[in-house]
Amino acid sequence: MRLILDLDNTLYPAKCNLIRDIETRISQFVALKLNLDFDEGDRLRREYFIKYGTTVTGMKVLYDVPPAEFYEYTHQIDIHDYISTDEALRATLQRIGIPMSVFTNSPLSYATQVLEVLGIDDLMDGVYCIEFSEFISKPTPLGYEKLHRELSLGETGAIMVDDQPRNLVPGVKLGWKAIRYNEDGMREPDERFVEITTLDELPEAIERVTD
Protein backbone atom coordinates (compact mmCIF):
# COMPACT_ATOMS: atom_id res chain seq x y z
CA MET A 1 0.00 0.00 0.00
CA ARG A 2 1.14 3.52 -0.67
CA LEU A 3 -0.25 6.85 0.47
CA ILE A 4 -0.56 9.52 -2.23
CA LEU A 5 -0.88 12.92 -0.61
CA ASP A 6 -1.98 16.19 -2.13
CA LEU A 7 0.11 19.19 -1.03
CA ASP A 8 -1.70 22.54 -1.18
CA ASN A 9 -4.56 23.01 1.26
CA THR A 10 -4.04 19.41 2.38
CA LEU A 11 -0.64 19.18 4.11
CA TYR A 12 -1.01 22.77 5.25
CA PRO A 13 -4.30 24.52 5.98
CA ALA A 14 -6.17 26.66 3.47
CA LYS A 15 -6.81 29.11 6.29
CA CYS A 16 -3.12 30.14 6.30
CA ASN A 17 -3.95 31.93 3.00
CA LEU A 18 -0.81 30.84 1.12
CA ILE A 19 -2.84 29.57 -1.80
CA ARG A 20 -5.12 32.61 -1.68
CA ASP A 21 -2.10 34.89 -2.10
CA ILE A 22 -0.55 32.71 -4.83
CA GLU A 23 -3.90 32.87 -6.63
CA THR A 24 -3.79 36.67 -6.42
CA ARG A 25 -0.35 36.58 -8.04
CA ILE A 26 -1.67 34.21 -10.73
CA SER A 27 -4.48 36.65 -11.53
CA GLN A 28 -1.90 39.48 -11.68
CA PHE A 29 0.29 37.44 -14.01
CA VAL A 30 -2.60 36.63 -16.37
CA ALA A 31 -3.63 40.30 -16.38
CA LEU A 32 -0.05 41.46 -17.02
CA LYS A 33 0.59 38.92 -19.79
CA LEU A 34 -2.68 39.54 -21.63
CA ASN A 35 -2.79 43.26 -20.95
CA LEU A 36 -6.02 43.14 -18.97
CA ASP A 37 -7.15 44.64 -15.69
CA PHE A 38 -6.90 42.58 -12.49
CA ASP A 39 -10.57 41.56 -12.39
CA GLU A 40 -10.45 40.19 -15.92
CA GLY A 41 -7.20 38.36 -15.13
CA ASP A 42 -8.87 36.91 -12.05
CA ARG A 43 -11.87 35.80 -14.07
CA LEU A 44 -9.62 34.05 -16.61
CA ARG A 45 -7.60 32.41 -13.81
CA ARG A 46 -10.82 30.76 -12.57
CA GLU A 47 -11.95 29.89 -16.09
CA TYR A 48 -8.65 28.18 -16.98
CA PHE A 49 -8.56 26.42 -13.62
CA ILE A 50 -11.96 24.84 -14.34
CA LYS A 51 -11.25 24.13 -18.00
CA TYR A 52 -7.60 23.01 -17.85
CA GLY A 53 -7.11 21.94 -14.21
CA THR A 54 -4.58 24.72 -13.58
CA THR A 55 -4.14 28.23 -14.93
CA VAL A 56 -0.56 27.49 -15.99
CA THR A 57 -1.86 24.82 -18.36
CA GLY A 58 -4.39 27.23 -19.85
CA MET A 59 -1.71 29.88 -20.37
CA LYS A 60 0.59 27.33 -22.00
CA VAL A 61 -2.06 25.82 -24.29
CA LEU A 62 -3.69 29.10 -25.34
CA TYR A 63 -0.78 31.57 -25.35
CA ASP A 64 2.32 29.39 -25.34
CA VAL A 65 3.52 30.95 -22.07
CA PRO A 66 6.44 28.88 -20.69
CA PRO A 67 5.51 27.36 -17.30
CA ALA A 68 8.90 28.44 -15.89
CA GLU A 69 8.03 32.08 -16.60
CA PHE A 70 4.60 31.61 -15.04
CA TYR A 71 5.97 30.11 -11.83
CA GLU A 72 8.79 32.61 -11.54
CA TYR A 73 6.14 35.25 -11.10
CA THR A 74 3.34 33.43 -9.31
CA HIS A 75 5.38 31.55 -6.72
CA GLN A 76 7.62 34.50 -5.82
CA ILE A 77 6.34 34.44 -2.29
CA ASP A 78 7.97 33.88 1.10
CA ILE A 79 6.25 30.74 2.36
CA HIS A 80 7.68 31.30 5.86
CA ASP A 81 5.11 34.09 6.22
CA TYR A 82 2.37 31.44 5.96
CA ILE A 83 3.54 28.08 7.26
CA SER A 84 5.98 26.70 9.80
CA THR A 85 7.15 23.39 11.23
CA ASP A 86 4.16 21.17 11.96
CA GLU A 87 5.09 18.69 14.70
CA ALA A 88 1.54 17.35 14.99
CA LEU A 89 1.39 16.56 11.27
CA ARG A 90 4.79 14.89 11.43
CA ALA A 91 3.66 12.70 14.34
CA THR A 92 0.44 11.76 12.51
CA LEU A 93 2.30 10.79 9.34
CA GLN A 94 4.84 8.79 11.31
CA ARG A 95 2.02 6.87 12.96
CA ILE A 96 0.72 5.72 9.58
CA GLY A 97 3.71 3.56 8.77
CA ILE A 98 3.17 3.03 5.04
CA PRO A 99 5.30 4.61 2.30
CA MET A 100 4.00 8.00 1.23
CA SER A 101 4.48 10.32 -1.72
CA VAL A 102 3.23 13.75 -2.68
CA PHE A 103 1.21 14.24 -5.86
CA THR A 104 0.60 17.92 -6.59
CA ASN A 105 -0.29 20.43 -9.30
CA SER A 106 2.44 22.74 -7.95
CA PRO A 107 6.00 23.03 -9.28
CA LEU A 108 8.77 20.91 -7.76
CA SER A 109 10.95 23.67 -6.26
CA TYR A 110 7.97 25.13 -4.40
CA ALA A 111 6.67 21.73 -3.24
CA THR A 112 10.10 20.78 -1.91
CA GLN A 113 10.32 24.05 0.00
CA VAL A 114 6.86 23.60 1.53
CA LEU A 115 7.72 20.08 2.72
CA GLU A 116 10.99 21.33 4.20
CA VAL A 117 9.32 24.17 6.06
CA LEU A 118 6.64 21.82 7.43
CA GLY A 119 9.45 19.49 8.51
CA ILE A 120 8.12 16.41 6.72
CA ASP A 121 10.31 16.26 3.57
CA ASP A 122 12.27 13.26 4.88
CA LEU A 123 9.03 11.29 5.31
CA MET A 124 8.20 11.44 1.59
CA ASP A 125 9.30 8.70 -0.76
CA GLY A 126 8.78 10.88 -3.79
CA VAL A 127 7.40 14.22 -4.86
CA TYR A 128 5.37 14.05 -8.08
CA CYS A 129 4.76 17.56 -9.33
CA ILE A 130 3.32 19.38 -12.30
CA GLU A 131 6.60 18.76 -14.15
CA PHE A 132 6.12 15.00 -13.64
CA SER A 133 2.57 15.32 -15.03
CA GLU A 134 3.98 17.15 -18.08
CA PHE A 135 1.97 20.24 -17.05
CA ILE A 136 -1.25 18.29 -17.50
CA SER A 137 -2.62 18.79 -14.03
CA LYS A 138 -4.98 16.87 -11.80
CA PRO A 139 -7.79 15.95 -12.42
CA THR A 140 -6.65 15.00 -15.95
CA PRO A 141 -5.81 11.26 -15.85
CA LEU A 142 -2.32 11.52 -17.44
CA GLY A 143 -0.37 12.15 -14.22
CA TYR A 144 -2.37 9.52 -12.33
CA GLU A 145 -1.69 6.90 -14.99
CA LYS A 146 2.01 7.74 -15.05
CA LEU A 147 2.21 7.48 -11.27
CA HIS A 148 0.21 4.25 -11.31
CA ARG A 149 2.75 2.69 -13.69
CA GLU A 150 5.88 4.14 -12.12
CA LEU A 151 5.04 3.05 -8.56
CA SER A 152 3.28 -0.19 -9.60
CA LEU A 153 0.22 0.95 -7.69
CA GLY A 154 -1.89 -1.74 -9.39
CA GLU A 155 0.06 -4.27 -7.36
CA THR A 156 0.69 -2.37 -4.13
CA GLY A 157 -2.62 -0.53 -3.92
CA ALA A 158 -2.88 3.18 -3.16
CA ILE A 159 -4.78 5.58 -0.95
CA MET A 160 -5.13 9.12 -2.19
CA VAL A 161 -5.80 12.14 0.02
CA ASP A 162 -6.92 15.44 -1.53
CA ASP A 163 -9.00 18.42 -0.51
CA GLN A 164 -10.71 18.59 -3.90
CA PRO A 165 -13.22 15.82 -4.63
CA ARG A 166 -12.74 16.19 -8.39
CA ASN A 167 -9.07 15.28 -7.96
CA LEU A 168 -9.96 11.97 -6.30
CA VAL A 169 -12.10 10.68 -9.15
CA PRO A 170 -9.36 9.58 -11.62
CA GLY A 171 -7.53 7.77 -8.79
CA VAL A 172 -10.66 5.85 -7.86
CA LYS A 173 -11.02 4.84 -11.52
CA LEU A 174 -7.56 3.27 -11.28
CA GLY A 175 -8.62 1.33 -8.20
CA TRP A 176 -7.10 3.66 -5.60
CA LYS A 177 -8.87 4.25 -2.31
CA ALA A 178 -9.76 7.87 -1.65
CA ILE A 179 -9.97 10.14 1.37
CA ARG A 180 -11.29 13.66 1.03
CA TYR A 181 -9.84 16.26 3.38
CA ASN A 182 -12.55 18.77 4.16
CA GLU A 183 -10.67 21.17 6.44
CA ASP A 184 -12.76 21.93 9.54
CA GLY A 185 -15.82 20.74 7.58
CA MET A 186 -15.88 24.14 5.84
CA ARG A 187 -16.81 22.80 2.43
CA GLU A 188 -19.82 20.89 1.17
CA PRO A 189 -19.40 17.21 2.14
CA ASP A 190 -19.10 14.77 -0.77
CA GLU A 191 -20.64 11.46 0.15
CA ARG A 192 -18.77 9.57 -2.57
CA PHE A 193 -15.68 9.68 -0.35
CA VAL A 194 -14.59 8.92 3.17
CA GLU A 195 -14.07 12.36 4.63
CA ILE A 196 -11.83 13.78 7.35
CA THR A 197 -12.04 17.29 8.76
CA THR A 198 -8.67 17.31 10.57
CA LEU A 199 -5.46 15.52 9.60
CA ASP A 200 -5.44 13.81 13.04
CA GLU A 201 -8.20 11.59 11.66
CA LEU A 202 -6.03 10.33 8.82
CA PRO A 203 -4.65 7.12 10.38
CA GLU A 204 -8.16 6.00 11.34
CA ALA A 205 -9.56 6.90 7.90
CA ILE A 206 -6.81 4.82 6.28
CA GLU A 207 -7.94 1.85 8.33
CA ARG A 208 -11.53 2.44 7.27
CA VAL A 209 -10.80 2.57 3.54
CA THR A 210 -8.51 -0.45 3.61
CA ASP A 211 -10.78 -2.62 5.75
Q: Rule CB under 5 A: which residues touch Mg ion?
A: 6, 8-10, 163
Give whichever of 12 and 31 is closer to Mg ion, judged by the CB atom.
12
Give whichever of 10 and 55 is closer to Mg ion, judged by the CB atom.
10
Q: How many CB atoms lie within 10 A of CB 86?
A: 18
Give whichever of 31 and 159 is closer to Mg ion, judged by the CB atom.
159
Calpha distance 211→205 (Å, rounded) = 10
CB of 23 to Mg ion, least distance (A): 12
Calpha distance 92→81 (Å, rounded) = 24
Give whichever of 31 and 202 is closer to Mg ion, judged by the CB atom.
202
Helix/strand/coil for 180: strand
Q: How far is CA 26 from CA 9, 45, 92, 167, in A?
A: 17, 7, 32, 21
Give whichever of 10 and 54 is closer to Mg ion, judged by the CB atom.
10
CB of 137 to Mg ion, least distance (A): 11
CB of 105 to Mg ion, least distance (A): 8
Contact predicate 139/124, CB 8 Å: no
Instruction: Report which of 186, 187, 181 is spatially closest to residue 200, judged by C-alpha positions.
Output: 181
CB of 11 to Mg ion, least distance (A): 9
Inter-axis angle of helices 202-210 and 87-96, to 10 degrees? 20
- 110 burial class (0-12, 13-18, 19+ CB within 10 angstroms)? buried
CB of 16 to Mg ion, least distance (A): 13
